[in-house]
Chain A
Amino acid sequence: MTKSAPKTETAPTIVLVGHGMVGQRFLEALADRGVTARARVVVLCEEPRPAYDRVQLTSYFSGRTPDDLSMVEDGFMERHGIELHLGDPAETIDREARTVTARSGLTVTYDSLVLATGSYPFVPPVPGKDSEGCFVYRTVEDLLAIEEYAKDRATGTVVGGGLLGLEAAGALKGLGLTTHIVEFNARLMALQVDDGGGAALRRTVEDMGLIVHTGVGGKEITADVGGAVTAMALSDGSSIDTDLVIFSAGVRPRDQLARDCGLDIGERGGIAVDERCRTSDPAVYAIGECALTADGRVYGLVAPGYEMAQTVADDLAEVSCDGFTGADTSTKLKLLGVDVASFGDAHGTADGCLDVVYSDSRAGVYKKLVIGADGELLGGVLVGDADSYGMLRPLTGSVPPVAPEQLVLPAGLGAPAALGPSALPDEAVICSCHNVTKGSIRSAVTDHECVTVPEVKKCTKAGTGCGSCVKTLTTLVNDELEASGISVDKGLCGCFGYTRAELYEIVRTLRITTYAQLLDSHGREEARTGDGCEVCKPAVGSIIASLAPTLGASGYVLDGEQAALQDTNDHFLANLQRNGSYSIVPRIPGGEITPEKLIVIGEIARDFGLYTKITGGQRIDLFGARVDQLPVIWSKLVDAGFESGHAYGKALRTVKSCVGQTWCRYGVQDSVRMAIDLELRYRGLRSPHKLKSAVSGCARECAEARGKDFGIIATSNGWNLYVGGNGGAEPRHADLLAQDLDDEGLIRLIDRFLMFYIRTADRLERTSAWLERIEGGLDHVRDVVVNDSLGLCAELEALMADHVAGYRDEWAETINDPERLRRFVSFVNAPESPDPTVAFVPERDQVKPDLTLLSGPNIPVRTARTLEGTSSR
């Protein structure tokens, strides 16, 4: 029998069946309302682990451990005296006697029973569905089994192209399998998006290498003699060879327990409940995905489940509440890296509603807004770019403050810049997971004295669900803080309360030449005389290096204290790779190289066993050098006339070029000569982030100059200068700064532009982000560097002249200095020994790192996940 409750003898007993996300939310809601203090709470959980974040399940494959996914704060159960029984599911309910019996035989008498049994994956009745290698995608255990089975398999098939199906497909692809998606409907994510959105989604998914089959179902799964899956026949007569099948074709409410004890069940399943989430037995509640709610629906989303959990907690606490009458099913997700959102009446079912659609198949962007007869926003679908979701969802039901077509246009094409969260009414729901309004967020700042976003999140729970509203939340909090006259801490890190731009001015005007001096004089009180941190050390090191010739400091980044400030790449003048080896990139200005120099690079790579690859910046990267090999490799390169390419530094990387008018029949200027001149002028220039450039010899733009920080395109009259371009994760075309410049005019303008950027940008802020952020944007920058509105131009040019005059090759400086060379050993106490963990295995006629040497006692799964927050500290 059960042991007696630690509460009073007469304490009522609440039994919760199921400990998933909704179950845990219910327990938290009970604790918040003080119910756990006066009632005994017993939880029966089928899974072997406490509630975890099922929504983020797939992130297990990107390195989050099951523990990372836990939803239960340490000590929560103990603190509230909750009895949690893991791996012991409820098996029978006796409503007459009011008892629940679990698999272990444990029987608990209840006063109130809450069913939060969730749902189970629907497996279509395909012959062969029970073969070895068939899985569902629901629990951590499912994932572990899939991961294990996929280890030496080549191909996988996911049945179901909905939300969970795409997640599963992404996971299989991440495990290195050729992945098929089979969807019975005519489009992917049929529930959430319309045909146009489905088409955009499909194109993007296919571009990632997944194979999509729509409008077909699985007919039969065939297995080999051992019973393992070998293929899947489809309804259109075709067949897929596959080693593994994941069924992800929707879920069904788990209502068996309720059926067995005679509770009312909906025709198509689900435990029928009223607005207070009570079943046909008033002592029994049902919440989450197992419940058929008063509006006749079964909700498969977590947010409505949370609302139900709170409704029941209110009922048990005898707090009045509105009950659960239905919920917003708006969702925003990132599936396979694609943003997908739908909200409100996404399918346009209301009478007289009309669509406004923006579709760019090339970019995989599709946006549709559904507008009602009176101009109010009813709903919408966003695929490929869902940034505006945070704004649009709260506007649903109201007439937007600007024309609807403006709401779907991409930034820069007439989208109103001013329509930010400030345009929203106080009652607009910002966080739909936790139903937090703009008004509550504002009052968290004004009434509850929260001064940071994390504090507001803790206070209101906003932004702690799916996280899609955090950007909007941050803007709101900062706006509100500013309106309250509270200054937002924009300091560089925990050591400095100043921004990078402010520190630059301090260093320049006070002629500070060391980090220690700056930290002790201008650091935060608590950080002075300390060791600083990994954020501000390289940032200050870069500022001092940029200004070195002007300050009279040494510009050599390995001199004295400067050596201790550099990230490892700068410290070893090479790029650290995943196994601790380094890569080496000699400068090849403009991408022009003689056959003799090519031969030298080839010989060095061959002699040292280096892996070679052509970079995107028209040069050659040599991978796999041990730290003790670097100086000798540099010596050979320097002897052949090469110098450092600064591939390791926040500095100018390359100036790419097309072949230009010398050879090309379309060229109108000598783009190669200009690229070489620019690369040699700005080489070694330390900046807030890396700098890339390119010169194109005509408007055909073969050098892709508009994707660069500063790009030059030849015209028949001279050069056009574009600035603020970027490739990478957030591509941006560079903006035209000035046109038809002559050579001197071009160089003068670039000098000013770069020095103004270096002076005013934040740490690790590329020119593209800087141009977007800086007040006045491009027009302001043009005013400063073209029209000299601040009277700075002479100074900016002088700073650049100092840089050009002070340039020295860092590799040559290093190999000529025995003291500096001492650093380039694998082991301080065994300078002759190479590091045995840096070794290689063959790959496509070259080498690759031997990672087996790095596996320790517990082989790490994480590879490329940087810890968030290290830069914002």
Chain B
Amino acid sequence: MTMAPERIDLRVELLLDQRWFAICDLTDLIPGRGVAALLPDGTQVAVFLDRAGRPYAIDNRDPFTGAYVLSRGLLGSADGRPFVASPLLKQRFDLETGRCLDDETVTVQAYATRMEEAVAA
């Protein structure tokens, strides 16, 4: 048997109070879809991966219905910017700013994200 080369896993992190908080492994995400995650204070965030492999994070709560479901919406892009469409009533939210594209008075919180190497043996 040959030794397996050192495996490099990528981890998705989001910026929380000036500190990077690890959410999940990149392999937990499917391009074009999202997952829900819990922050230490119990807040729910929706984390997405676009087709190009970039991660995004916004609030999981759909402000139009109150349900915590944005992570289950479909991703798309409009004018080159990624959005998620709420699975309930289909309003779209910009993934970088959290701004609702169908009602400019509504915004959800967006979080900065990055991918960090987690070296495993």
Contact = CB atoms under 8 A, between A and B. Distances in A.
A140 to B, nearest CB: 17
B37 interface: yes
A571 B50 CA distance: 17
A870 interface: yes
B62 to A, nearest CB: 9
Interface residues of B, number: 44
Interface of B: 22-24, 28, 30-33, 35-38, 42, 44, 47, 50-51, 61, 63-69, 72-78, 80, 82, 85, 87-92, 102-103, 105
Contact of A867 (B28, B75, B102): B102
A209 to B, nearest CB: 26
Contacts of B32: 531-532, 537, 561, 564-565
Interface stretch (A1-9, A696-704, A727-735, A857-865): A857-865
Given A828-B23, A856-B61, A862-B65, A530 B90 contact: no
Contacts of B82: 531
B67 A854 contact: yes
Contacts of A530: 51, 76-77, 80
Contact of B66 (A534, A829, A855): A855
A580 interface: yes
B89 A865 contact: yes
A564 B32 CA distance: 5
Contacts of A387: none
| Size bracket, chain A contacts | 35 or more
Given A537-B74, A866-B90, A860 B33 contact: no
Given A537-B74, A576-B72, A851 B66 contact: yes
Interface stretch (A225-233, A441-449, A545-553, A830-838): A830-838
Interface in A406-443: none
A828 B76 CA distance: 22
Contacts of A830: 37-38
Given A516-B51, A531-B51, A533-B77, 16 more contacts: A531-B32, A534-B76, A564-B75, A568-B72, A576-B72, A578-B67, A579-B67, A580-B69, A828-B28, A829-B37, A854-B61, A854-B68, A856-B66, A858-B63, A867-B102, A870-B92
A867 B65 contact: no
B67 A531 contact: no
A603 interface: no
A672 to B, nearest CB: 36
A815 B92 CA distance: 32
10 tightest Cβ-Cβ pairs between the two chains A and B: A854-B66, A564-B32, A533-B76, A534-B85, A568-B87, A531-B77, A828-B35, A530-B77, A568-B72, A580-B67
Interface in A526-559: 527, 529-534, 537-538
A567 interface: yes
Contacts of B37: 827-830
B19 to A, nearest CB: 16
Nearest to B89: A866
Given A537-B76, A564-B31, A567-B74, A829 B65 contact: no
Contact of A67 (B28, B75, B90, B105): B105
Contact of B68 (A529, A532, A828, A837): A837
B23 A829 contact: yes
Nearest to B21: A829
22 contacts: A494-B78, A533-B77, A533-B78, A534-B73, A534-B90, A565-B74, A568-B73, A569-B87, A576-B69, A580-B69, A827-B36, A827-B44, A828-B28, A829-B23, A830-B38, A835-B68, A837-B44, A856-B63, A865-B89, A866-B89, A867-B91, A869-B102
Most buried by A among B22, B37, B87: B87
Nearest to B36: A827
A867 B74 contact: no
Nearest to A851: B66
B72 A572 contact: yes
Interface string A607-640: 0000000000000000000000000000000000
